Amino acid sequence: MKRRQICAGTLCLIGIGLILLGLWLFYPRERQDKVALIHVEGVIAGGRGQGGLWGDGGMDSIIRQIQAARDDDSVRAVVIRINSPGGSAPASQEVGEELKKLRSAGKPVVASMGDIAASGGYWIAALCDRIYANPGTITGSIGIYIPYANWEELFKKIGVHGEKIKSGPHKDMLSPERPMTAAERAILQEMVDDLYEQFVAVVAEGRNMEPTRVKQLADGRIYTGRQAKKLGLVDEMGTQEDAVYDAAKLAGIKGKPALHEYGRSSVWDAIFGDGGQSLLDVLATRLLYGQGAGSRFANPGLVPQLR
């Protein structure tokens, strides 16, 4: 009886071992030669950003994803899916520099434009190997602006009087409490012109155009995807899937490529955080510091905008 139990147990263990061996030999392993999909959504801004449900496309999160794709040997190519009206110039530049490093590592990068890929969104697209857009995509808006509002008369009507102790005459430049001086306007225009030349240089290099030709197109206007293709700002009309297949082809991947998608958070992550800014972060910030016009007075930042 005991011998039978031992034999039965041995046969059972052998059977389990054979099943596990069969699963190891024949179960499909994770496919190699992947195409990574990275999303650039919302206003492109510095810092962690607020993520998909809550607003901005944080530069730090996008850069981490690009670096992860660069370091992953199984990722052979990358598609940047852009749904953005633009954002801050420095944030767009930093994302663009990471794309240059990615391409230098020998990984093709294809941009896929969604509803809108304008200004800073186009800056990023221009640094990719190829650009896909839908016929109705809104793109272009190549240019720079610095927003300013003079609310001096409004403040007088509501009885608000502000005073500043400053280290120099231009320290409160762009203050809404007073008119801008001619000297300040000249300073800001010089900044805008410098950044504009940088933007033109990026587009000229990325699209293999003469800077003079880029400037003819870069007066701030927007284009449809179809118009942009005719003007040489876009390579092909096509969907995100078309861009994925093109990226795979550029990387020499045969057949249907495996897709690895970065940057999609679960509901738990969106509420409690996953390295980005969670809903709780956003609510706490708005309760402490406020939002809207009033917050502009407390923190009058000077960040040139690409949108």
What is the full per-residue pLDDT of the chain (307 aa) written as tens digits?
556 656 655 666 676 665 655 555 454 445 578 999 999 999 998 876 544 444 445 789 999 999 999 999 999 999 999 999 999 999 999 999 999 999 999 999 999 999 999 999 999 999 999 999 999 999 999 999 999 999 989 988 999 888 889 899 999 899 888 999 999 999 999 999 999 999 999 999 999 999 999 999 999 999 999 999 999 999 999 999 999 999 999 999 998 899 999 865 544 444 444 444 444 444 444 444 343 333 333 333 455 666 5
Catalytic machinery residues: 119, 171
Neighbour count for residue 152 (Cβ, 10 Å): 14
The CA angle 83-84-86, to the nearest 5 degrees, is: 160
For tokens 């033109």, what's the residue?
A: 200
- Domains along the sequence of the chain with CATH: 30-163+171-306 (3.90.226.10)
pLDDT of residue 47: 76
pLDDT of residue 274: 46
CA 289 to chain centre: 26
Q: How far apart are CA 206 and CA 96, in angstroms?
A: 11
Phi then psi for residue 199, to 5 deg, are -60, -45
pLDDT of residue 296: 35
pLDDT of residue 79: 98
- Cβ(196)–Cβ(75) under 8 Å? no
